[in-house]
Every structure is written in C-alpha cells, then in structure tokens.
Amino acid sequence: MNNNTVKKPDYVLFNKQTRAFIYNLQVNAVQRMLDFDYAAKRETPSVAAIINPTGSDGYSKFFFGPREVLIPVYKSMKTATEKQPDADVLINFASFRSAASATMEAFEYPSIRTVVIIAEGIPERQVKELIARADELGKVIIGPATIGGIVAGQFKVGNTGGTIENILESKLHRPGSVGFVSKSGGLSNETYNIIALNTDGLYEGIAIGGDRYPGSTLLDHLLRYEKNPEIKMLVCLGEVGGTDEFAIVEALKTKKITKPLVIWVTGTCAKAFTSEVQFGHAGAKADAEMEQADAKNDALREAGAFVPNTFDDYDKLIGEVYNDLVKQGVITPAPEPEMPKMPVDYKVALKEEMIRKPTNFICTISDDRGEECLYGNKTISQVAQEGLGIGGTISLLWFKQLMPQYAIDFIEMCLVITADHGPAVSGAHNCIVASRAGKDLISSLVSGLLTIGPRFGGAIDGAAQMFSQAYDEGKPPAQFISDAKKNGVNIQGIGHLIKSTHNPDKRVTLLKEFALNNFKATPVLNYALEVEKLTTAKRDNLILNVDGCIGISFVDLLRNEMPKEEADDYISMGALNGLFVLGRSIGMIGHHLDQKRLKQGLYRHPWDDIAFLDN
C-alpha cells in the first residue's frame, strides 16, 4: 500500500510526487537525482532520506539547484519508514552480500512498494526467494544488476541517464511519448539518446538488469506502458539468452500489447562464432536454438513487432514508427520547453575554467594545488632528496630563490648561534616562568617571543638598516658615530654588557670569519668593523655584537645574491629579525620541555646531575 497523498495507478511506479530511500551513503547518486529533480522542476527532492546502516542518525548536505538542502540520514530502515511514510521506493545500493537481506527487510514495511536492486552477483537462489516474496506481497523489484530507470521530467533512479549534461542532451528533463525497456543499463542510456534524436523523447525507461532471473521482466514493464495513456509507442532491447522475448511474442499475438513496438534482440553476432559464447550479462547465453537472438527477432517480427534488419537500422525504424503516429494524430508533439539553466558546482566550474574569482590572499612562495606542495619551484620531495635542509627551505620560502651553498650554511649557522643564550635572557626567562605556571608549550613560547625587540634580538634589522644606510651615503665611520651621538641615537648592533675586546664573543668571531672567508664580497661588514675600531677605542665593550654581525653580514649576503633594491626591501620588511625569532624559538621550546621534565622528576641524560642555577 502506498502512502502518497494521491494513490498512483497500478501501472505507475514513479511520478513527480514519488520519493525514495537511498540505501547506503551514495553521495554522487543522490546529488544526480537532486540535479534531475531541479531540472524537471520538481517542488520537493525525490530523495526522502538516506539509510546508512553503518552510520548514525543525522543529516547530509546536498544541493537542490542553487540552494543547499539537508537530507535526513537514518541508521535503520524502520526509523526511516516511520519518519518518512510518503517514500514508497527503496534504491538499494547494498553490496551483493547484503542486498538480498536489505531487500527482504524492505518488503516488511507496507509503505515501500518498489525496490531497485543495483548490485550484481547476488546468488540466484536468493533472487528467486525475493521474487517469490515480492509476488506474495504485491511488491515490484527492478534488478538485480540494474542501473534503474527514469520517468522523464518526473523521477530518476540513482545514476540512470548519467550526468545532468547527458540528461538535458537526451531531453529527459521533460516527458515524451515513448516507453522503453531493456536489460542493459549501458544500452538504456545510449537508447535514450537515440529516442531523443528520432522522437519527441522518452516518457519512461527501465533497465531490468542483466542477471538470469530479473525481479521484473521486459514484458512486465511493456504491459505497464500499454496501460499508460501517456505512452504512445513502445521501444525495447532484448538480448541473446533466455526466453523472455517469447512472452512478448505471445502478448503481441493475444493483443495484450496493441501499441506499436520497435524491438531488437542483441547478440545476432553469436552465430559467427564456432563455439558457445557468453556475453557480458549473466543471462546473455544461449543454451538452445530458441534462445538465439535471430530466432527471437524472427518470432517478434512475425508477431507484428517492428524489428530492424540490424541494429544499425534501429534508430531509423524508431523514427519511422514515430512519424507515422504523428501523421495519424496519435501523437501531437508538444512545444519544446526552455532548457533549464543548471547551477554548476564551484569546483567543477573552476577546474573547467568557467569562472574567475579574485583571490582573498596571494601567496607566491608555496603552492599546494598539485599532488605535492611546492616550495618555490621545488617539491617537498626535491627539497628533502637534494638535502637542502633548514637553510635551503628558508632560502626558498623567505627569499623566493635557492641561494648558493655558502648562503644556506650561513643561515643555518645563524640559527645555531641564536638558538639559546642561557635561562637569564628575557625571552628564555619569560618562557620558563610561564612553563612553571603550568602554561602549555605555545603559551610559554609566545610569552618569551613577545620580549623580542630593539634591546633583545630586534637589533638585527636595526643594525642592518643603520649600517647599510651610512655605508650607502658614504659617511666616514667617525661621522657615522658623531651623527648618532649628536642625535641621541644608540648605534644598534654595537655594545655588550659582558663581552669586550679582552673577552670577545665567540659567536661573533664565528660569524665574521665565515662571512669574510666565504661571501663574494663584504663591504658593509668591512665598514662596520671600521666603526668597531673607533667605538672600542672609547670603551672596550662597544664591540660589534651578535645581532649587529648577523644583520650587517646579511646585508652583504642579500646584495650579493639579488638586486640591491630587492635586498633593501627585505631589510626594511624586518625579515632579518625572523632569523633571531626562529633560532631563539628552538631554545625556548627546550626550556619549556626542561621545566616539564624537572616538574615530573624525569632525569634521563648524562648531564642531569648538573644544575644550571640562576641566582
């Protein structure tokens, strides 16, 4: 018994009010059905709900034309039928192992009248049991091994008819006058195109499935079409194997079928083979003479069906029969409605270059749109395989080019040298305090990083800017020092609380020696060393410090590897402070983990018996 508001005639399985359950989460099939619904101008989606036995109750989001809709998802069929009593079709996408049991369960719910079984390979014994049970209860089975069916402009089963583009091309978004039935789903889709080209289009099409024992036969659907006043002519495709087509012969002879029928039984090529032939479908095998395609075609022709001489003439014969019906006034072609405009998914449109959209952000250093992310023009695999390391990665991501090996080595040296300078410096101190207060790693690290500025790490950029500007202006070192004093400005990169000419900073020594021995040229560094001679002559701790040496050396490095204007842009951006931030982050994370180990009493390293105490 169907619970639709208006009861359908017994010859109608699907109409514009039909709603269905989809068994198993078949996202593409559901969306194709909803796209068809929108093109057919249905008021409500044809999918009432999804039954997902391995999931949980909820909703799944789909498009209905340009707007999004929520389709209910139920774990059990019982819940689905209770919540959606108007749905009388189950489209069963279960596997061949569970399709029979799911179908048998569906039979127990009075509201479900028609079950479409997509799976192939269901054991024949189980299919026979399903057919017997369906007959007892007055249910209808389409399949197994079927793509389903379609009523043009009203209802579509799953993937029948293919994509929405093919639906529109085959004029399946509006009804025609032809009823079609076939075993093959693939040939059904092809025949819909043939019918669209040679008639006013399809009214209903069904693929009964290619298994040996289909739940409903070719004749079952032809007899439904015979009763349907909207269908004016019949088209059918049979196939070699079995005797179903002889039931059609008998129906023609007894006038159960009176509407003109164009039919072709495929597989006539089997006679060209010297041995037994098994075609694609389980039932497409002739075990007797009468199961041969030629025997069936001859019998159908004799019974009054329109049978072409070959499949090549199939389309022509369909057109001829249709045109005769138009001449007789049996069919009055309706005006072709305006082709519906279908929304296109954004990803599809973008891939096919149908739309353009201004970007919200622009990134020129990396690209993750391909199979593998690019750093500059190199994939991550190339970066790893070529051993570019941290220095090479920074070169690609910060400076948008792969610098020579000496530059990569210098970048890594800067990170090593700035990684840590004990627990007493402000960044490490704040990180330790935050860690001891129970803060997480990110909070502790940020607490330390926020202390970085002109008096702690931020002097890298300041030193680079001050010294490069003085050098570019041609100021003698003495004037540079004099101008800074006159303006009350400290020279960034000069001075240290502890280190002096008598107690040199080993880190600065390493940096200077590397730059002087490996850089292509060091004019700004040389200028800074001349300044240092004058400042240390006044006081021995006014030395070139780590921040200053890194910043000034990097000016030379960048100007060696790119145009001066571009190098100066990086300096003005504050890029060089990034080296200090990145390097000091390494040490701060270590301090955070150290505090966590101390709190938990974890001592696992040879030096754990030594306490580094801050007085």
Residue with tokens 């079609």: 180
Task: Report residue 446 as tokens.
Answer: 């940020």
Query: What gap in Å lies between CA 72 and CA 51, rounded to an integer?
Result: 9
What's the token pair of residue 291? 């199961």
Which of the residues 173, 221, 281, 496 is marked catalytic?
Answer: 281
Rounded to whole angstroms, how far apart are CA atoms 206 and 188?
A: 8
Residue reference for tokens 């093109």: 39
The sign of the torsion formed by the CA atoms of 429, 431, 434, 435 equals: negative
Known active-site residue 429: no
What are the distances in angstroms from CA 503 to CA 360, 526, 531, 603?
53, 21, 19, 34
Are the C-beta atoms of residues 179 and 227 closer than 8 Å to each other?
A: no
Distance CA 77, CA 107 (A): 11
338-343: Cβ within 8 A, 24+ apart: 339/168, 340/38, 340/39, 340/41, 340/168, 340/173, 342/35, 342/38, 342/39, 342/65, 342/164, 342/168, 343/63, 343/65, 343/66
What would the DSSP string read from start to end of 447-479?
HHHTT-BTTBBTHHHHHHHHHHHHHHTT--HHH
Residues in the chain: 615
Tokens describing residue 547:
């921040």
Could you say which DSSP state residue 540 is in?
A: T
Beta strands in 118-157 (DSSP E): 140-142, 148-151, 155-156
The catalytic residues are 281
